[in-house]
Structure 1
Amino acid sequence: MPHTVEWKVRLYLFEDGRTTRARAVVDTGTTVLTGHGATRRNPADPEVPEIGDELAAGRALQDLGQQLVDIAERDIEGTGAAGPGPRPPVGWPA
């Protein structure tokens, strides 16, 4: 059966001095999840805001992605599809 949905993801970046923080929010229509990430520039490093943005955003998206994988794994277990013992990772190979 075909299945198409649209999830909206918003990424917010906040810089304060040497610290950059990111918040990634996904709205699935039924659930809203938030991932967080941060980075801090070493005082000896040159000031390149894009690098802080990239690192903080990447970490927030990783956090959000892990939350989604954790929820999917719990949902799989709830269906009884997961057998005893170790099982292969969920989803397509990376």
Structure 2
Amino acid sequence: MPHTAEWEVRLYLFEDEGTTKARAVLDTGNIGGTPLTGHGVAHRNPADTDVPEIGDELAAGRAMHDLAQQLVAAAERDIEGMGAAGTGQDTRPAFGWPL
């Protein structure tokens, strides 16, 4: 059966004194459903040139990564709630910058 849905993600960025914070909010459109919110932070080294776009990119990417992990965890809980086995996938990154 065909299924079409539209989910909206709002991304909020806040920068102050070399620290950028991001909040990504996913609204799945479910009536009464609670939106998922991801958070991300980026800190500029005081010795680095002030380029706000880099902080925006890092904080936004980290917020969306956090949101994605929450969405996968919610799906796995739903799968297990249906009596099926989980995906068994480890969603943690094997390498990369610490969050």
Q: TM-score, normalised by structure 2?
A: 0.82
Aligned to 1:69: 72
CA apart distance, 1:36 = 0.4
Q: 2-side partners of 1:37 and 1:10: how far apart?
A: 14
- Asked if 1:10 is matched to 2:13, the reply is no
| Counterpart position of 2:56 | 53
List runs of 5+ in structure 2 lacking aligned partners: 91-99
How many residues matched?
87
Counterpart-to-counterpart distance in 1, 2:79 and 2:71: 12
| 2:28 aligned partner | 28
Percent identity, aligned pairs only? 72
Task: Tell me the distance in 2 between the aligned counterparts of 1:67 and 1:88.
Answer: 15
Structure 1 stretches of 5 or more lacking a match? Answer: none
